[in-house]
Homo-oligomer: A and B are copies of this chain.
Amino acid sequence: MTEPTDQTEQERHCAKMAKRKAAQDAEVAEKTIARKGLLIVHTGTGKGKSTAAFGLVLRMVGHGKRCAVVQFIKGGWDTGERSVLEGFGELVRWHTLGEGFTWETQDKARDMAAAAKAWETAKALMAEPDLKLLVLDELNIALRYDYLPLDEVVETLKGRRPDLHVVVTGRNAKPAMIEAADLVTEMTLVKHHFAQGVKAQEGIEF
């Protein structure tokens, strides 16, 4: 036996949730484009831009689809995910072409050459017909420092084949990149443990 007040609460809950479901269903029904390769941008100063991109690679691998990662800026650390994702053999190809953060190398010419080589690799991968997802990690940084011609990069991405998903990561995404994108997420830093004097943690930062 349910108390009348509980019943009323349950009814109210049902009515609210039924309304929510109707709105959700209507939203889904509105979508008419069944398949489209998306240009996805992860930007902002918060954490998770590259991590979420590699999470998408993981999801794609789960569906048996081929992915590739091109790193435009090499991080200071060897990251754990690279070794795991490379373990999927033919499904994941990983290219690290950047030379480290530019404030580490202090050699603009070398950084520009590395960015150009990374971009050539990216274009070659985009031409592979069975590639489903391409991650251009930290491409926004290379564009921010004008290591690559923005117009050419954006036009090439816009001209990708219609079923290829591309994820571009890095803070300070250029307005032209955001304009060209289908999906843009800004990762915003709300609170960081570095401020409490905590060092980078294995498995979290690297």
Contacts and interface: CB of A to CB of B under 8 A. Distances in A.
Interface of A: 9-10, 13-14, 17-18, 20-21, 24, 27-28, 30-36, 38, 40-44, 46-48, 50-56, 58-63, 65, 79-85, 101-109, 132-133, 165, 178, 181-194, 196-204, 206
Contacts of A81: 55, 58-59, 62
B60 A103 contact: no
B44 A188 contact: yes
A196 B184 contact: no
A63 B109 CA distance: 35
A69 to B, nearest CB: 12
Contacts of A199: 28, 31-35
A46 B52 CA distance: 12
A59 B51 contact: yes
> How many copies of this chain does one complex carry?
2
Contacts of A185: 46-48, 187-190
A74 to B, nearest CB: 15
Contacts of A65: 203
9 contacts: A27-B194, A32-B199, A33-B196, A38-B201, A58-B80, A59-B81, A60-B80, A182-B191, A185-B190
A181 B188 contact: no
Contact of A62 (B14, B80, B107, B189): B80
B56 A103 contact: no
B188 A188 contact: yes
Contacts of A197: 30-33
Given A21-B104, A32-B197, A55-B81, 4 more contacts: A24-B101, A38-B201, A62-B83, A182-B198
